[in-house]
Amino acid sequence: MHKDNIFKIRKVFHKHPDARGFGLFMTKTQVESMGGRIWIESIPNKGSTFFIEFNN
């Protein structure tokens, strides 16, 4: 449902009042700057798993 927006800046998918929408965006940019990749696999109403892969 949110696959195209999950790593975009200022996107929040919950109602926590302190959320700013920078965490996943910053994580993705840092992982990619080190030559890695990050992705998510999700099942609606079950949960999500985040994967980070780094190359040696």
CATH number of the domain where residue 32 is located:
3.30.565.10
Domain of residue 51: give its range. 1-56
- pTM for the full predicted model: 0.69
At 36 the pLDDT is: 96
At 48 the pLDDT is: 87
| Dist. CA 33–CA 26, nearest whole Å | 11
pLDDT (tens digit, 9 = 90+) per residue, 4-55? Answer: 767 776 776 667 777 777 788 889 999 999 999 999 998 888 988 999 999 8
At 2 the pLDDT is: 58
How many domains does the chain divide into?
A: 1
Determine the distance from the C-alpha atom of residue 19 to the mean position of all C-alpha atoms in its chain, rounded to a whole number: 14
